Amino acid sequence: MYPDGVNLLSLFSGIGGAEVALHRLGIPLKTVVSVEKSEVNRNIVRSWWEQTNQKGNLIDMDDVQQLDSDRLEQLMSVYGGFDLIVGGSPCNNLAGSNRVSRNGLEGSESSLFYDYFRILDLVKAMAPRFR
């Protein structure tokens, strides 16, 4: 379906599981906008991107709240609409060391989950202009 690759928006990317899965399925990654708070995780994704000689564009962001309508419109104007949007959990990490910051959807990290729906709604509203 996507011989030229996909444009992927990956929110709370973690260590890039969706990106790796698509790559392993043989689906080229044309553009990946990866939003992940953890610098360690962003470095892991960037390192994987370079080690696997990805040909597309990797745009990594550290703050999901910076992804507002203006930034999304800019990204979609330059790279086209998103073919796939994936989302991880903003409230877990590999070591589980953020348990103290999680308190349902009111925890300092868990409340970021609301941004997933905010961004999804923005992308859906803008999508017809970039098809």
State the catalytic residue, choosing from 61, 64, 91, 112: 91
Q: The dihedral of CA 128, 118, 72, 33: what is its sign?
A: negative
Among 1, 2, 7, 11, which Cα is nearest to 120's?
11
- 91 catalytic per annotation: yes
The sheet that has 29-35: what strands, in order across it? 57-61, 29-35, 6-11, 84-87
Give the up-direction half-sphere exposure of residue 49: CA atoms within 13 A in the CB hemisphere: 22
| Catalytic residue IDs | 91
